[in-house]
Amino acid sequence: MSPLGMSELESIDERSLRTGSVAGGLAVEPAEASGSPREALPPGGRVSELSGETVGEVRAENAFMIAEGVNVYYGDNHAIKNVTLEVGRHQVLALIGPSGCGKSTFLRCLNRMNDSIESARVTGKITLDGQDIYSKKLDPVVLRARVGMVFQKPNPFPKSIYDNVAYGPRIHGLAADRAELDHIVMTSLDRAGLLKEVRDRLDEPCSALDPIATARIEDLIDELAENYAIVIVTHSMQQAARVSQRVAYFHLGTLVEVDETNRIFTNPQHKLTEDYITGRIG
């Protein structure tokens, strides 16, 4: 049973756009999409109204995490409206959409981070490997040990680099002794491509660390997808095109369209999706 990793990489991606590591402009047509079997226009033309119905395919092959009719309210604000979405095993799903469309809120539902917000109320059903994650019997601590989360803004603890990396294994008691913990920390840093940079300064504050290149993170996502299901929120369509197999487009709390990545970027079936990926709204 593989845990599900999720990451929000908005800020890192914006940085890479600025530094030019990603081609600028609206290159939303990946090369492999040229041989798409679909026609230019779906039969019957594009759906244009925001009806609350999701177009495309919300079901995933070999579904691992299933959200069924999820609504989220922050007080009176209906932030997520009746979202049904599946994440497949070993799949990278990218959530895209304009700011405030609810993609981060949906992400937070997946490991019950909304529990800590007093006014938040979640209805509907989310299952992880067949288990209801909002069940009263499930301790969120256990859930979060399986469903990790990387936040949009870097939020290191005010501790050393070593202590930051070792925090998770420590609270869950994963290492029997110091040597094992050292090993976990070293291999983690190595996989993130940081070991060379920080080997001699593990006792320094974590905030002294520079952000690493987006390309390295994207490689890591590919690597992790072999063992994990990954949901990533991004503002960059190029990044979504590079790392994901499926893309979900959110608009004003509604899941407008879900489909395979190349289909979304070459032949969106909803007018709003098309407007977003071509830059008319954002």
Residues contributing to the site for another protein (CB under 8 A): 111, 113, 116, 118, 140-145, 148-149, 151, 153, 155-158, 167-168, 171-172, 205-208
Nearer to another protein, 44 or 136 (CB): 136
Nearest to 93 by CA among 228, 274, 275, 272: 228
Other C-beta atoms lying within 10 Å of the C-beta of residue 143: 20
Nearer to another protein, 41 or 208 (CB): 208
Nearer to another protein, 41 or 171 (CB): 171
Nearest to 249 by CA among 95, 100, 87: 95
Nearest to 251 by CA among 230, 229, 268, 238: 268
Shortest distance, position 201 Cβ to another protein, whole Å: 13
d(CA 144, CA 5): 10
Nearer to another protein, 31 or 137 (CB): 137
Task: For residue 3, give both structure tokens.
Answer: 């845990």
Shortest distance, position 174 Cβ to another protein, whole Å: 11
Other C-beta atoms lying within 10 Å of the C-beta of residue 149: 15
Helices 178-191 + 161-171 axis angle, to 10 = 120
**For residue 10, which amino acid is it?**
E
Nearest to 191 by CA among 228, 227, 217: 217
- What's the count of helices (H) and strands (E) in the chain, helices before strands? 10, 11
Contact between residue 13 and residue 236 where contact means Cβ atoms under 8 Å apart: yes
Cβ burial, residue 48 (10 Å; 0-12/13-18/19+): exposed
Shortest distance, position 153 Cβ to another protein, whole Å: 7
Nearer to another protein, 34 or 116 (CB): 116
Nearer to another protein, 8 or 218 (CB): 8
Shortest distance, position 146 Cβ to another protein, whole Å: 8
Cβ burial, residue 142 (10 Å; 0-12/13-18/19+): exposed
Shortest distance, position 200 Cβ to another protein, whole Å: 18
Shortest distance, position 120 Cβ to another protein, whole Å: 13
Shortest distance, position 115 Cβ to another protein, whole Å: 8
Nearer to another protein, 143 or 231 (CB): 143
